[in-house]
Structure 1
């Protein structure tokens, strides 16, 4: 699975792709990593999330739950609309090709054949997607296989955290808007959009194993292993990594540094890939002179 799949929020709902029911299983206790940034009167927790999950993973406990309970504010990447049709409308409007070129015609003969076969095997109508730019098809192909494997957006960490915040009366804020986040993909040059789509198609055979490995590392609180696996996926698409990962990490680090000027306790939850490896939020904070440290179990 590529890192770009890991950046998805509620896009499965927007694309009407969430489905599949996993068999019930005993809960597996997870110990995902948690970091802290603080000064005399401010504490900011940094928690890396997984956006889709299977039933039976007990992660909202221990230091993560304690830090959340202590916090005055929850900050997510975006605040997902309650109505998935709103997200779908935003994505659809930004994804429509304005130049009249069919998506399939943007691909070379061999790449086109692999793409169309991948869409058909995933139950996605490639002819309908011919109306869209390549990034939209890449996202759809990133989500559909996981949905069929039993991963569910409603079990993702953001959903659980936001529900807990609402139940506790905690305010919820966001680092980006839906339009901004979709815009990172929609604003990619066409060459990079095609590159993203082709890389997604090429990675489909290994998606189940790779995503399973990433989830295992997340559950075990092993960000170094998660980063190593993630970086292997990024090697083929460094330009995309700069736009979709490293550049955003830098923006968030600036936000965190500014937030230290406000007293209180804030719980920031972003995709786990943003808090692992070279160019992570922690690396960007260090460059700004802000120290972060891992919260021990």
Structure 2
């Protein structure tokens, strides 16, 4: 979730990553009335170098927009590190041996993972697995959009704060955090292949497959899905509906999983009588 510092489990669940050197045509939607246009673009937070996605219809929509809206604005790494330590440090008993074994396999010192709250342990293991597979936030969609907006003089706004995103994890029940950590450890060997399959769907604009993955995640952990997906989708749909009252053109970019599957932002907008149309390009 914290795209530049902890791509982690949320990044694995809500986005994907790229295949080197490939061309992608991700899905893009548009909400429009007489004087307002809002583009809805699903992002991938961590990528390998070389994926070509910021062109054609996506670039045209970005260039036509007056402002860019992301999940969070570019955070201060030092402030995030301090906040993460504050919220994610614990003094309890060690985790199960397999957790520390997985951490050591990914390069962490023996016992270091045991000092973390379960949610942070899960995020850290996922981050390390992503990095080991060759993916990084520096090549992710948000990084490219932020750089392009700065170069074009477009204002960048945020739907959430970095603190708020961390608090989503910290606010989970102990049982949900432990389940998240257990699932993360079990799925580490398949992290790379799963991400590769996911990004293939994303790059092909296959929202149905993206949605199927989101439904799988929701069924596996209803509490996590409610906190990380459902509530946020509802807030963001409300934001879009309110923003339609102001004239202008907006490029709104959030994790691809929020724009696919049951309870997507588009589905919630439809309940409000606002139609999101797929942009053909």
Q: TM-score with structure 2 length normalisation? A: 0.92
Per-residue Cα deviation, 1:48-97 (whole angstroms, up to 9, x for no partner)? 0000101111000011000000000000000132x422211121111123
Does the CA-based 8 Å contact 1:102-1:132 persist in structure 2?
A: no
Residue in 2 aligned with 1:78? Answer: 72
Quick check: 1:35 aligned with 2:29? yes
Per-residue Cα deviation, 1:140-188 (whole angstroms, up to 9, x for no partner)? 1111111111111100000000000000000000000111111100111
Aligned mates of 1:126, 1:272 — CA distance in 2:
35
Aligned mates of 1:288, 1:103 — CA distance in 2:
48
Per-residue Cα deviation, 1:174-215 (whole angstroms, up to 9, x for no partner)? 000111111100111111111111111111121111111111
Secondary structure of the residue aligned to 2:115 is coil
Does the CA-based 8 Å contact 1:275-1:282 persist in structure 2?
A: yes
Secondary structure of the residue aligned to 2:112 is helix
Residue in 1 aligned with 2:13? Answer: none
Aligned mates of 1:179, 1:127 — CA distance in 2:
27
Equivalent positions of 1:214-225 (< 5 A) are 214-225=198-209
Per-residue Cα deviation, 1:116-156 (whole angstroms, up to 9, x for no partner)? 22111111235223222100010011111111111111000
Aligned mates of 1:141, 1:258 — CA distance in 2:
38
Quick check: 1:118 aligned with 2:75? no
Residue in 1 aligned with 2:89? Answer: 96
Structure 1: any 5+ residue segments left out of the alignment? 1-6, 15-23, 105-111
How far 1:230 sits from its partner (Å)?
Answer: 3.2
Quick check: 1:266 aligned with 2:259? no
Quick check: 1:87 aligned with 2:80? yes
How far 1:13 sits from its partner (Å)?
Answer: 8.4
The counterpart of 1:48, out of the listed 31, 34, 42, is 42
Aligned mates of 1:221, 1:262 — CA distance in 2:
29
Residue in 2 aligned with 1:167? Answer: 151
The counterpart of 1:210, out of the listed 172, 182, 194, is 194
Structure 2: any 5+ residue segments left out of the alignment? 9-18
Residue in 2 aligned with 1:280? Answer: 264
Residue in 2 aligned with 1:67? Answer: 61
The counterpart of 1:233, out of the listed 217, 232, 250, is 217
Aligned mates of 1:69, 1:126 — CA distance in 2:
49
Does the CA-based 8 Å contact 2:7-2:46 persist in structure 1?
A: no
Across the aligned residues of Structure 1 and Structure 2, the Cα RMSD in angstroms comes to 1.7
How far 1:235 sits from its partner (Å)?
Answer: 2.2
Does the CA-based 8 Å contact 2:66-2:248 persist in structure 1?
A: yes
Aligned mates of 2:2, 2:195 — CA distance in 1:
13
Secondary structure of the residue aligned to 1:45 is strand
Residue in 1 aligned with 2:11? Answer: none
Aligned mates of 2:170, 2:266 — CA distance in 1:
27
Aligned mates of 2:81, 2:122 — CA distance in 1:
15
> After the TM superposition, which parts of structure 1 deviate over 3 Å for at least 4 consecutive aligned residues?
none
Does the CA-based 8 Å contact 2:69-2:252 persist in structure 1?
A: yes
Aligned mates of 1:30, 1:74 — CA distance in 2:
21
Of 179-188 and 84-93, deviating more is 84-93
Does the CA-based 8 Å contact 2:100-2:114 persist in structure 1?
A: no
Quick check: 1:200 aligned with 2:184? yes
